[in-house]
Chain A
Amino acid sequence: MRTTGGKTMLRLHKLVKRFGSVLAVDDLSLEARSGEVLGFLGPNGAGKTTTISMVSGLLRPDAGHVELDDGERPERPESRRKIGVAPQALAIYDDLTAEENLRFFGKLALADAGRLRARVDWCLDFVLLTDRRKDYVKTFSGGMKRRLNLAVALVHDPPLLLLDEPTAGVDPQSRNVIFEKILELRTSGRTIVYTTHYMEEAERLCDCVGIIDHGRLLAIDTVDRLIDAHGGKSVVTAVRQDSEERIESSDPIADVVKLQGAGDIVSLRIDRPNLERVFLNLTGRGLRDR
């Protein structure tokens, strides 16, 4: 079982959510701890965003419940001070400046003007937008908007962050900055729930990954353990002058030595199991958006 993180900051208990006849989330239970990045992986329509919406208080579960660290429920507005959400859609105002956006959203949670000012300054600095603070968001690049979207989630200094595909549509440089910032946030002890389609993001960032499909949590553990449990064997591919040989292997090094003894090899490749393979093994290879 998982061993990462500290205190339990979020507990989902047998969550169920239906939209008409569609069962979007089916009996989903899990926990996230402080200082932990919990990744949600799942195909389109798997129920990730619905789950995030219930955790943030945006949707009420049909059954089950969400608990924050001290048993509070996110349906209660006051409890939502503990939650920061960076939605997948850029939920910021184009006709306000970066500073105005932060000040406005911050004001909804923070009463103290001095603290608000300090948090706005910190957030702008954190996402590297201090020198653009007075510029309208509509003049920003996609990466800058993503960073501001993240900053708005942080402005009231919440211990729990819900990041729904926070790197969608950004260039590699901005994506790298966002990764670094998320790791900084983890180091500072925040709990981060992170949904993504990108396996390499989950492998790089997440202490723990939950794979969801059809509203059900299929597996949840550290990346290494998921790979061990669901990734299958490594595949060794040896190409000779006139043929190609592929073998599944639990001990690829030993198998490579064996293959070399059987004749000349032009090229050799070892495909170790990874999270993508875990994902495909668990959710299947069929298209979901047909």
Chain B
Amino acid sequence: MIRQVLALAGKDVRLLVRDKGGTFVTFAFPFIYAVFFGLIFASRAGTASKIGIDVVDEDQTAHSAAFVDRLAGADEFDVTRATRKDASDDVRRGRKVAYVIVTKGFGEAAGGILFNKQPKLEVGIDPARQAETAMVQGMLTKYMFEMITSTFTNTAAMTSQIDQAKKLVAADKSLGPARRTMFDRFFNELDRFTTKLHEEEPSKSGSDGNRETTTPDSLAGWQPMDIETTNVAREHAGPKNPYEFSFPQGIIWGVLGCCASFGISLVTERTRGTLARLRVAPIGRVQILGGKATACFVSTLTLATVMIFVGRYVFGVHPGSWWHLAVSLTCIAVAFVGIMMFLSTLGRTERTVSGVSWAVLLGMAMLGGGMVPQFYMPPWMQGMGDISPVKWAILAMEGAIWRGFSTSEMFLPWAVLAGFGVVFFAIGVRGFAWADEG
């Protein structure tokens, strides 16, 4: 029996793949939908805000203030000054991408850069946001480099540092005469070089630090500061990126395409006579319908799985719970296999079933948030969405991907989807038997 069901399912999947229109609707369109709307949401998010960070200045020195001002003036950051606690809360709740704490001693270290002291920053960031983590660290390094460069090219600051160094050499009793002479000569030469540089390029050696800076090759790999990163697990209150929102909807469109294609294919089998041929084969009706259901189930699940993996590895969709998602996709496949069976009984010709099926499916999609997100709808319409399997399918996927539903919270959408599947399948099987012999 299994062999025959698999043969039937294999045939149907093969026919689906060879039908260019069906393949496009089922497999390509969902990707286009997901990427298209993901890009729209992403571009809107990009124009609305920069990377939001909280900055905490615990050092309260001129150097730390200068560094914070640099960050505040940066194009890449939207900086809010905050306390350590508020900053941590903001990241945890997802209100900010990261926080940056300028720790005590920052100013002293930044002022004594010649003595290999590294100013220290503490960065708190959601570990799930890999891309932003790297970007924030890169930006902080860049602005620290800019500050150091401005110190090197600031004659007064540099002279002050050289004077301080000379005093330290003079005070150090452990140095032998030869080494002391060598250090004195080095710092005197450096002092003369700095003064001469200022006289020759007065316009470029200002201390404003606004000009473009580049890192010399010899400094490659050297870090101007010590960045200590703290992982702050975010309490997710929304999708982490727009694709986590658009991919479930894209999957829904693929599922609807599968559902319609297989529903129509059942009618095509009837009108083309192949269904009669299957019925005179040594197999029962259970196997025939089982084969069709299996093909629809496998195609739906395959489509959803492929989309999830592409979403994960290309578009940064990070499901909160993989096993919740697996059960959700299974329940969705069950629901829409049932709906497929039901759709196949809505007419006796492909044209009728195709038209009525898409009308039904589009109605489900409209009410269920497959076209316009439910939160854009008025409350009464959101309530009506409860009758649409699409609403529960999206909820089940979102619950597993970014809503952070617990297992007990997931049970409701799973049960509703499985219920839809069983009820529609039963109606479909009854209707199918009638239509077949009429």
Contact = CB atoms under 8 A, between A and B. Distances in A.
Chain A's interface size range is: 20 to 34
User: Which of B15, B278, B280, B284 has the most CB atoms of chain A within a 10 A radius of its CB?
Assistant: B280
Contacts of A78: 282
Nearest to A19: B438
Nearest to B271: A89
B211 interface: no
Main secondary structure of the interface of A (DSSP, over half): loop
B173 interface: no
Contacts of A53: 276
Contacts of B167: none
A18 to B, nearest CB: 12
A89 B276 CA distance: 10
B281 interface: yes
A95 B7 CA distance: 16
Nearest to B17: A95
B11 interface: yes
A95 B17 CA distance: 10
Interface stretch (A107-115, A126-134, A200-208, A251-259): A107-115
Interface of B: 3-4, 7-8, 10-11, 14-15, 18-19, 272-274, 276-284, 437
Contacts of A79: 282
A106 to B, nearest CB: 9
B437 A80 contact: no
Interface of A: 53, 56-59, 77-81, 83, 85, 87, 89-93, 95-96, 100, 104-105, 107-109, 111, 152, 156
Nearest to B10: A104
Given A93-B11, A107-B4, A83 B274 contact: no
Contact of B4 (A58, A89, A92, A108): A108
A81 to B, nearest CB: 5
B273 A59 contact: no
A87 B282 contact: no
A289 to B, nearest CB: 21
Contact of B280 (A58, A90, A100, A104): A58
A218 to B, nearest CB: 27
B275 to A, nearest CB: 8
A81 B283 CA distance: 9
B277 A85 contact: yes
28 contacts: A53-B276, A56-B280, A77-B281, A77-B282, A77-B283, A79-B282, A80-B281, A80-B282, A81-B282, A85-B277, A87-B273, A92-B274, A93-B11, A93-B15, A93-B274, A95-B14, A95-B18, A96-B11, A96-B15, A104-B11, A105-B277, A105-B281, A107-B4, A108-B7, A108-B8, A108-B282, A108-B283, A109-B281
Contacts of A93: 11, 15, 274
Contacts of B282: 77-81, 108-109, 156
Contacts of A104: 7, 10-11
Given A81-B282, A90-B272, A108-B278, 6 more contacts: A56-B280, A79-B282, A89-B276, A107-B7, A108-B4, A108-B8
Contacts of B273: 87, 89-91
A58 B436 CA distance: 10
